[in-house]
A = this chain, B = another copy of it.
């Protein structure tokens, strides 16, 4: 351990695992630890486990709490970042949990709390795909569509808990039902769930499409890769699905560019493994339709690179 080196602790709190990383001043995770969340317990028990896991990770790495500058947590759900409270998080079964106050009973460090998508965005800006940049919008294409915004290398929280829910902005009013209760949200078109839904519909509509061969006739085997595989082989039904998906993803991205005008737009989630096949048409679409065109800055759309580490590295840097 280098003399004078200082560390930060980042925690990625999920419905299944609590992942802890000790991050050095170069934003590298130098020690990992993970414990089960076991969400059916009272939050005080979960937080006690979290604290013990942090102290265990520090001990394993031979680092004292005193040589740590700060601790940060990325949590799912709506976060009261000012008061360190999880307002609600469905997959934790939490409502109004004073997470930081509870954790401070065990660990005496400056602490920050933010939404997990915000932390991932900050992680990518600090140490990942956007480390050359100061401002970024990150869009996570998973079961839902998560959004994180970084301005001047800090998380942009908006005014209150429930902000930067970029996935829950209508792009097609009256369209597909969204889990939030509205119709036509960005999430209802750009999530992996939406892509799989549309692929299944296309497979049903075009029984002779390659989509049906790739899933061996079982639509439940369709995943987010299926439509891309079929489209790359020239299947018209799959191409239509992929083109539509990219169009709607582009619509949502342009909306965010016209609002935040960041240095860069980051995409994460398994769909991004499609690489340039996904980002090339997106970049073309955005150049064409961003407000004011080439007279103003048009951010590139690129893939995030840190994967699950982004959330830990970002959480570790919530407190400046």
Binding site for B on A (CB under 8 A): 78, 87-88, 95, 134-135, 151, 158-166, 168-174, 180-182, 184, 247-248, 251, 254-255, 257-263, 288-293, 295-297, 299
Do A135 and B151 touch (CB < 8 A)?
Answer: no
Do A158 and B259 touch (CB < 8 A)?
Answer: yes
Identify 6 new A-B residue pairs, CB closer than 8 A, beyond the known A163-B261, A173-B248.
Answer: A78-B296, A162-B296, A163-B260, A165-B292, A180-B291, A182-B289
What residues on B are CB-neighbors of A88 within 8 Å?
A: 292, 295-296
A251 to B135, CA, bound (A): 27
What residues on B are CB-neighbors of A161 within 8 Å?
A: 261, 292, 296-297
**When the two chains form the complex, which single residue of B169, B248, B261, B288 contacts A169, counting CB atoms closer than 8 Å?**
B169
A258 to B165, CA, bound (A): 5
Number of copies of this chain in the oligomer? 2
State whether A258 and B295 are in contact (beta carbons under 8 Å apart), knowing that A170-B251, A172-B173, A182-B289 are contacts in the complex.
Answer: no
What residues on B are CB-neighbors of A174 within 8 Å?
A: 172
What residues on B are CB-neighbors of A158 within 8 Å?
A: 135, 151, 259-262
What residues on B are CB-neighbors of A262 within 8 Å?
A: 158-160
Q: How far is the CB of A212 from chain B (nearest CB, A)?
A: 28
A151 to B151, CA, bound (A): 12
22 example contacts (A-B, Cβ-Cβ < 8 A) are as follows A135-B160, A158-B260, A158-B262, A159-B262, A161-B261, A162-B257, A162-B296, A162-B297, A163-B260, A164-B261, A165-B291, A165-B292, A166-B259, A168-B291, A169-B255, A170-B172, A170-B255, A172-B173, A172-B184, A180-B292, A181-B289, A259-B259
What residues on B are CB-neighbors of A173 within 8 Å?
A: 171-172, 247-248, 251
What residues on B are CB-neighbors of A260 within 8 Å?
A: 158-159, 163
State whether A87 and B296 are in contact (beta carbons under 8 Å apart), knowing that A135-B159, A182-B254, A261-B158 are contacts in the complex.
Answer: yes
What residues on B are CB-neighbors of A169 within 8 Å?
A: 169, 255, 258-259
A134 to B161, CA, bound (A): 15
